[in-house]
C-alpha cells in the first residue's frame, strides 16, 4: 500500500478568514522574508536561482485560430520558489493576466498558489491567491516605508488606486502612525474616489482626490507608485520635495535627474541582474518590460554604477547598511514581485487555516497507483 495524500484547499473567503487582510501581520511576514533573502536562504527559478518566473508570451498573430493573441497585460506566468528558515517550503504561484478580464466580471489577473512538501513534492495547500498576492505586494512597500521614510511623514500619495494600490496603502498606513492625509491619484477617477472612501471610512484619515500627478507628488512625504503596465507613470525630479520617499511597485519613467540625484535602493540585486541577463539573451532592449528598465538603461550607458553597488533593503533591515542619512535625503525603493514572498505569506495563512479548521481537505489519492514503479 502506498501513502495516502491529502491537501488543503482555501477559497478566497477562507483566505480572508485566515487573516490575509491583516496588513500589519503581512508587513511583519515580509520583513522576515527579507531577512532570509539577505542571508541567501531561498531559491527561485532558473540557474541563477533568482528568475522572476517563466511566462507564456502570446504572439501578435497566429495561423492557429484558437491560439490566444497578444493584448494589454496578457500573459501566463509560473513563479516557483523555495523559502528556508522556519518556512522550509516549496511552492509555485500561477496566474493568467488579461486587461480584458474586467469585461467578464473578473480581476485583471486570476492567481493561485500551491505549497508543496520540499522533499516529496506532495501538495500541502492549494489556495486562492489574488488577495495574498496583493497583500504581499503591499507589504513590501510597508517594509520600505517603515525603514526609509522620514520620521514625522504625514502625507502619503497613492499613484495608482487599484487593488495593488490599496494593498500598498493599507500596509504603509499600518506602519506609519503619523500619517494624516492620503492623496489618491489615478487615471480612472472612479478608482481614486473608491480608494478615498476606503481611506476615510476604514483608515480614519483625510483623503484628497488629486487627478494631477505632479501635484500629487509635490505634496507627498511618501509616494507609492502602483500603476499597471497599461498606464505607466512619468515623473520629474523637480516635483519631488526634500525628504521624500518614493516606493516603486509599478512601471515608472522619470527624467535622468531623478535617477541620478536620488538614493536608489533595491529589493534584490540578483533578481535584477537576472532580468538584465534574460533581456540580453532574448535580444530584448526593454528587458521584458521590467519596471527597473530605466535604471538598467542608465547602467548600460555608464551613467549609473553597477547594480551590485546599490543598497538593498534586506541589508538595511539586518543592520549591515544604514537607512535614511538625513531628513532631506530623497530615497526611492524599487521592488518587484518575488515568489518567496508569496511562499512566506501563504505558508503562514496555511498554518493558521490548519489551526482554525478553515478550508476543505481534498484527497490526491488513497494509494498512488505508481507507488511501486
Q: Write down the pLDDT at residue 234.
A: 85
CATH domain 140-337 topology: Rossmann fold (3.40.50)
User: pTM of this prediction?
Assistant: 0.92
Lowest mean pLDDT among 109-118, 152-161, 222-231, 240-249: 222-231
The string of pLDDT tens digits covering residues 72-91 is: 888 899 999 999 999 999 99
**What phi and psi, each to the nearest 5 degrees, are found at residue 187?**
-65, -25
Q: Write down the pLDDT at residue 62.
A: 96
Q: What is the DSSP letter of 288?
A: G
Q: For the chain, where do the domains classified as CATH 3.30.1780.10 start and end?
A: 5-133+340-365
CATH superfamily to which 5-133+340-365 belongs: ornithine cyclodeaminase, domain 1 (3.30.1780.10)
Indicate if the pLDDT at residue 280 is higher than 90.
no
Name beta bridge partners: 115: 91, 125
Average confidence (pLDDT) over 350-358: 98
The string of pLDDT tens digits covering residues 130-160 is: 999 999 999 999 999 999 999 999 999 999 9
Q: Write down the pLDDT at residue 139.
A: 96
Lowest mean pLDDT among 8-12, 22-26, 269-273: 269-273
Indicate if the pLDDT at residue 232 is higher than 70.
no
Q: For the chain, where do the domains classified as CATH 3.40.50.720 start and end?
A: 140-337
CA 323 to chain centre: 21
Average confidence (pLDDT) over 57-80: 93
Q: Write down the pLDDT at residue 250.
A: 82
Using DSSP bridges, classify how beta strands 311-312 and 222-225 pair: parallel, antiparallel or unpaired.
unpaired
CA distance 322 to 331: 13
Average confidence (pLDDT) over 104-113: 94
How many CB atoms within 10 Å of residue 199? 27
Indicate if the pLDDT at residue 92 is higher than 80.
yes
Amino acid at each position: 500500500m502506498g501513502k495516502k495524500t491529502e491537501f488543503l484547499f482555501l477559497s478566497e473567503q477562507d483566505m480572508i478568514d485566515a487573516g490575509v487582510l491583516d496588513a500589519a501581520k503581512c508587513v511583519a511576514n515580509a520583513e522576515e522574508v527579507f531577512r532570509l533573502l539577505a542571508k541567501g536562504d531561498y531559491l527561485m527559478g532558473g540557474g541563477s536561482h533568482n528568475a522572476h518566473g517563466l511566462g507564456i508570451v502570446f504572439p501578435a498573430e497566429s495561423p492557429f485560430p484558437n491560439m490566444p493573441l497578444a493584448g494589454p497585460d496578457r500573459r501566463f506566468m509560473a513563479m516557483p520558489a523555495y523559502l528556508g528558515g522556519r518556512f522550509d517550503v516549496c511552492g509555485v504561484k500561477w496566474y493568467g493576466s488579461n486587461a480584458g478580464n474586467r469585461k467578464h466580471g473578473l480581476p485583471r489577473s486570476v492567481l493561485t498558489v500551491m505549497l508543496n512538501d520540499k522533499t516529496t513534492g506532495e501538495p500541502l495547500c492549494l489556495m486562492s491567491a489574488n488577495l495574498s498576492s496583493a497583500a504581499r505586494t503591499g507589504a513590501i512597500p510597508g517594509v520600505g516605508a517603515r525603514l526609509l521614510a522620514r520620521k514625522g511623514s504625514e502625507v502619503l500619495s497613492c499613484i495608482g488606486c487599484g487593488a495593488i494600490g490599496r494593498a500598498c496603502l493599507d500596509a504603509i498606513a499600518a506602519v506609519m502612525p503619523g500619517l494624516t492625509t492620503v492623496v489618491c491619484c489615478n487615471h480612472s477617477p472612479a478608482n481614486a474616489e473608491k480608494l478615498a472612501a476606503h481611506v476615510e471610512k476604514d483608515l480614519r484619515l483625510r483623503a484628497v482626490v488629486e487627478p494631477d500627478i505632479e501635484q500629487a507628488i509635490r505634496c507627498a512625504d511618501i509616494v507609492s507608485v502602483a500603476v499597471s503596465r497599461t498606464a505607466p507613470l512619468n515623473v520629474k525630479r523637480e516635483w519631488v520635495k526634500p525628504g521624500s520617499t518614493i516606493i516603486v511597485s509599478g512601471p515608472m519613467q522619470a527624467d535622468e535627474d531623478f535617477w541620478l540625484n536620488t538614493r536608489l535602493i533595491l529589493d534584490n540585486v540578483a533578481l535584477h541582474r537576472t532580468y538584465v541577463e534574460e533581456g540580453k539573451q532574448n535580444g530584448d532592449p526593454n528587458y521584458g518590460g521590467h519596471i527597473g528598465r530605466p535604471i538598467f538603461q542608465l547602467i548600460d550607458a555608464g551613467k549609473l554604477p553597477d547594480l551590485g553597488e546599490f543598497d538593498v533593503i534586506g541589508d538595511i533591515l539586518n543592520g549591515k547598511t544604514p537607512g535614511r542619512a538625513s531628513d532631506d535625503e530623497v530615497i526611492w525603493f524599487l521592488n518587484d514581485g518575488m515568489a518567496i514572498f508569496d511562499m512566506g505569506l501563504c505558508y503562514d495563512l496555511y498554518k493558521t487555516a490548519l489551526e482554525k479548521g478553515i478550508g476543505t481537505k481534498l484527497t490526491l489519492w488513497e494509494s498512488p497507483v505508481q507507488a511501486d514503479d
